[in-house]
Amino acid sequence: MTESQLDPEQLRAVIARELTGARQRTALLTDSVDEADLVRQHSPLMSPLVWDLAHIANQEELWLLREVGGRDSMHPEIDPLYDAFEHPRSERPTLPLLPPGEARAYGHEVRGRVLDLLERATFTGPRLLGHGFAFGMIAQHEVQHDETMLITHQIRSGAPVLAAPSPGPAPADAFRLPAEVLVPGGPFTMGTSTEPWALDNERPAHTVQVAPFYLDTTPVTGGAYTEFIDGGGYDDPRWWTEAGWEHRQQAKLTAPLYWRRDGGQKNGQWTRRVFGREEPVRPDEPVVHVSWYEADAYARWAGRRLPTEAEWEKAARFDPATGLTRRYPWGNADPEASLANLGQAFLRPAPAGSYPAGAAPCGARQLVGDVWEWTSSDFGPYPGFEAWPYKEYSEVFFGPEYKVLRGGSFAVSAVACRGTFRNWDYPIRRQIFAGFRTARSGEAETA
Ligand SMILES: [Fe+2]
């Protein structure tokens, strides 16, 4: 059900539910650590958690209370502190940020006023309000910061503070799945012009020709990745792009981020740190915390390549039986717990082959949820792209320095995860919850 199919009362209820759900997660991620941990910078790559907390409130105030509601700024003096474009993450701890208590109070105050505004909203008039877009954008913004804050939790050292159940074993048929599935060649509709809460970079819908190709049925697992390591994958420049090899040497990469080999022994068991707990690498779990360069090198070592972004989206959305493009791999219904691993319900990807009910028509599983998947594509605009509602959302990032990731991770909430959703990052980044799957070109079908 897309937001455009709801009546105003249903839409109001959906918005309230999404905003409230996001705030519960924000509260959990920031109440679970002490004040010192909230203001500390756990990595120069990340903001202090207390910055995220007030920035969430500030964006909500800016877009909903000021742009939509026509109110004045509540605290003009702090606005520049929370503008992500004025201050890179590395310098945010040096700013006179609101202390935790004040940041929480600010968020609470803004949210109260927003819920009042929502009560009276008609969802008509300016484009920002149509189908509740601005509210949806703010709910997505908050859950995106919930993912960012979860990354900070993973980086943080010290006693574990987060816990979640395990996703459970893979279904019985996971071990019989084919290694790869065929995605037929031909045109498909990429992107969207109809999802009301889609962001500017997902628009507009357009036809793309994709040649037939094979895609891994599941994301690459820790076990498969260990074979790449043991097979000398990190020591052989043949598998790496020139920039990738240079980075691998300079950053001394030998394994995914957070992996460690028991006692440093050559044949010791690999362990990894997961939210403060050291555990054996699970061979059937999708590998996570690898850079684009590592994913690309693995694919070459395996005699394959990363899928393009268009290939990924076709595998995830195209239904050959109808020729139509779906909202999600499983169809048009919204995500739920039986279909995909989303929303930090678990703090890890589910074993490869999980979620058979969420499979795409091509047979690939876990395209949505579990791990972000690196694609070979640079982040760029679709034909007919229009920046909206502001240039800094996507347009300033277009270019060859960013690679596209698709599908969302276990840390993303459903409201910010669509079959069309696009994420992007530098090819060296490893702290994000990113894995990958590989592809190879197929034969053109002959009559
Ligand atoms: Fe933000």
Strands 186-190 and 180-183: unpaired
Q: What is the number of other CB atoms lying within 10 angstroms of the CB of residue 5? A: 10
Residue 63, classed as helix, strand or coil, is: helix
Q: Are 22 and 150 in contact (CB under 8 A)?
A: no
Ligand 1 centroid to Cα of residue 53, in Å, is 10
Q: What pLDDT does 264 receive?
A: 65
pLDDT in tens, 420-440: 999 999 999 999 999 999 999
pLDDT confidence of residue 306: 98
| Centroid of ligand 1 to alpha carbon of 275 (angstroms) | 23
Closest among 325, 347, 415 to 139, alpha carbons compared: 415
- For the residues 157-178, what does the mean pLDDT come to? 95
Cα–ligand 1 centroid distance for 144 (angstroms): 8
Distance 397 CA to ligand 1 centre (A): 14
| Residue 396 CA, ligand 1 centroid: distance in Å | 15
- 372 pairs with which residues across the strands? 434
CA–centroid distance, 55 to ligand 1, in Å, is: 7
- Read off the pLDDT of each residue in 404-432 and give the average, rounded to a whole number: 97
Question: Over the chain, what is the mean pLDDT?
Answer: 95
417 CA distance to ligand 1 middle (Å): 16
pLDDT given at position 56: 98
**331 C-alpha to center of ligand 1: Å?**
30
The string of pLDDT tens digits covering residues 333-353 is 999 999 999 999 999 999 999
Judge whether residue 258 has pLDDT over 50: yes
Q: Give the Å distance between the CA of 278 and the centre of ligand 1.
A: 31
Distance 28 CA to ligand 1 centre (A): 18
CA of 84 to the centre of ligand 1 (A): 6
**Which one, of 123, 286, 280, 314, lies nearest residue 208 by Cα?**
314
213-244 pLDDT, tens per residue?
Answer: 999 999 999 999 999 999 999 999 999 999 99
* Residue 292 pLDDT greater than 60, yes or no: yes
| Centroid of ligand 1 to alpha carbon of 60 (angstroms) | 10
Q: How far is the CA of 140 from the centre of ligand 1 (A)?
A: 10
Q: Please report the sign of the dihedral spanned by the C-alpha atoms of residue 86, residue 57, residue 76, residue 135.
A: positive
Higher pLDDT, 51 or 84: 51
Would you place residue 270 in the very low, low, confident or very high pLDDT band (cuts 50, 70, 90)? very high
Q: What is the DSSP string of 323-390?
A: TEEPSBTTBSSPP-TTT---TTSSSSPPPTT--GGG--TTS---SSSSSEEEEEEEE-PPTT----S-
In angstroms, what is the span from residue 289 Cα to ligand 1's centroid? 22
Q: How far is the CA of 52 from the centre of ligand 1 (A)?
A: 8
How far is the centre of ligand 1, averaged over its atoms, from the C-alpha of 57 (Å)? 10
Kindly give the distance from the C-alpha atom of residue 106 to the centroid of ligand 1, in angstroms, as a whole number: 16
pLDDT at residue 299 in the model: 98
Q: Residues with Cβ < 8 Å from 90, sequence gap 6 or more?
A: 44, 45
Cα of 262 from ligand 1 centre, angstroms: 38
Sequence-separated contacts (24+) of 66-70 with Cβ below 8 Å: 67/128, 67/134, 67/389, 68/117, 68/121, 68/126, 68/128, 68/129, 68/134, 69/113, 69/117
Burial of residue 250, with CB atoms counted within 10 A of its CB: 0-12 exposed, 13-18 middle, 19 or more buried: exposed
The pLDDT, as a whole number, for residue 319 is 98
CA of residue 199 to ligand 1 center, whole Å: 14
Q: Which residue has the higher pLDDT, 437 or 92?
A: 437
Higher-confidence position of 207 and 94 = 207
CA 143 to ligand 1 center in whole angstroms: 10
**Residue 138 CA to ligand 1 centre (angstroms):** 9
Q: How far is the CA of 410 from the centre of ligand 1 (A)?
A: 19
- The whole-number average pLDDT for the span 102-128 is 95
Measured distance CA(54)–CA(148) in Å, rounded: 14
Ligand 1 center from residue 170 Cα (angstroms): 35
The CA 141 to ligand 1 mean position distance, Å, reads: 6
Distance 368 CA to ligand 1 centre (A): 22
Cα(424) to centroid(ligand 1), Å:
14
Distance 145 CA to ligand 1 centre (A): 7
Contact between residue 256 and residue 290 where contact means Cβ atoms under 8 Å apart: yes
CA of 56 from ligand 1 middle (Å) equals 7
Helix ranges (H only) for 61-182 are 100-120, 133-155
Ligand 1 center to 220 CA (angstroms): 30
In terms of pLDDT, which residue wins out, 447 or 347? Answer: 347
| pLDDT the model gives residue 1 | 62
Q: What is the mean pLDDT of residues 30-43?
A: 95
Q: Ligand 1 centre from 2 Cα, in Å? A: 24
Q: Tell me the percentage of the chain whose pLDDT exceeds 70.
A: 98
Tell me what pLDDT residue 447 has: 44
Predicted pLDDT at 163: 93
Average pLDDT over residues 393-420: 96
What pLDDT does residue 4 have? 79
**pLDDT for 148 beyond 50:** yes
Supply the pLDDT for residue 267: 73
